[in-house]
């Protein structure tokens, strides 16, 4: 199967990054979201990143124009009918993702592969919303997408070998390094990462240290590029909470119980960088 037109559902932080790397690899891209302002914001973000690449001499102005010329914006899901491969990068909310896949299953050609960028929701659950479970797969990019090299490729129970190979090869085409994960809640990355972040929140909750102290220990003591609370703010505390809830529900194990302080911050609207306040304040 040859992928020529690549669809992305969601033009937010993850979605526009996925659209950018797909367009830079030479594919025609359809970037879809529910509002015109969302897709324009996503396109502006891509344009800004490419402009910086031109300034740094990493690409020419002509190459930038060519990449942008391969990206079509859309606010109508029906436009995805033209795609050979679609990645859903909507919010980490199970009912929303289920509805998107139900709609895509009706809109897209039976040959189209439907992938999810979900951080934690089992692919089998998502695939069950369609009549093509063999063509549903997890393609989990890391944030920020243009910079991070990893793509987790998650096979559902029914995912075909062809679907897996196309996804694996696409990851390499995008300049990424794919890693295969079995279909468990959280997969590999977030099954390990999120409990660490959650434990850092517990350390703050119990008064073990300030956010600055907790992050400094992990940066200087464990050589992490950023502390867990800074990383949580970057990811979004609502996303962190949603992933922890998926782990807790999926494994029925108290070690995955979300910290009450994390839940309290989310309920207060303190979501991290995107809201201006999380464990730190942002201007």
Active site residues: 119, 140, 152, 190
Q: Is 97 annotated as a binding residue?
A: yes
Cis peptide before 144 (omega within 30 of 0): yes
Secondary structure class of 139 (helix, strand, coil)? strand
Q: Is 64 annotated as a binding residue?
A: no
Q: Is 92 annotated as a binding residue?
A: yes
What's the residue count for the chain?
283
Instruction: Evaluate whether 230 touches 215 at the Cβ level (below 8 Å).
Output: yes
Q: Is 218 annotated as a binding residue?
A: no
Q: Is 171 annotated as a binding residue?
A: no
Q: Is 10 annotated as a binding residue?
A: yes
Of 40, 38, 32, the residue nearest 8 (C-alpha): 32
Q: Is 15 annotated as a binding residue?
A: yes
Which positions ≥6 away from 35 have C-beta within 8 Å? 75
Q: Is 14 annotated as a binding residue?
A: yes
Q: What are phi and psi of 138, to 5 degrees?
A: -95, 130
Give the sign of the dihedral formed by CA 35, CA 37, CA 39, CA 41: negative
Q: Is 120 annotated as a binding residue?
A: no
Specify binding-site residues for NAD(+): 10-15, 33, 92, 97, 119, 143, 274
Specify binding-site residues: 10-15, 33, 92, 97, 119, 143, 274
């Amino acid at each position: 199967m040859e992928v020529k037109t690549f669809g992305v559902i969601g033009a937010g932080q993850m979605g526009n990054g996925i659209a950018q790397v797909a367009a830079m690899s030479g594919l025609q891209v359809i970037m879809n979201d529910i509002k015109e302002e969302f897709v324009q914001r996503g396109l502006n973000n891509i344009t800004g990143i490419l402009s910086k690449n031109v300034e740094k001499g990493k690409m020419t102005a002509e190459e930038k124009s060519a990449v942008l010329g391969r990206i079509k914006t859309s606010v109508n899901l029906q436009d995805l009918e033209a795609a050979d491969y679609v990645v859903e990068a909507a919010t980490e909310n199970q009912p929303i993702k289920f509805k998107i896949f139900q709609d895509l299953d009706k809109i897209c050609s039976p040959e189209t592969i439907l992938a999810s960028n979900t951080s934690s929701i089992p692919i089998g659950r998502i695939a069950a919303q369609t009549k093509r479970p063999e063509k549903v797969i997890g393609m989990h990019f890391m944030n920020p997408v243009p910079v991070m090299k990893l793509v987790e490729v998650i096979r559902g129970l029914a995912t075909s070998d062809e679907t897996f190979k196309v996804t694996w090869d696409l990851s390499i085409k995008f300049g990424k390094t794919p890693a295969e994960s079995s279909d468990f809640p959280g997969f590999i990355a977030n099954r390990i990462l999120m409990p660490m972040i959650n434990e850092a929140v517990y350390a703050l909750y119990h008064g073990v240290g300030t956010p600055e102290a907790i992050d400094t220990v992990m940066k200087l003591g464990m050589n992490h590029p950023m502390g867990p609370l800074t990383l949580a703010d970057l990811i979004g505390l609502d996303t962190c909470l949603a992933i922890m809830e998926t782990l807790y529900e999926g494994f029925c194990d108290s070690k995955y119980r979300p910290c009450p302080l994390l839940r309290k911050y989310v309920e207060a609207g303190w979501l991290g960088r995107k809201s201006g306040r999380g464990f730190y304040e942002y201007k």
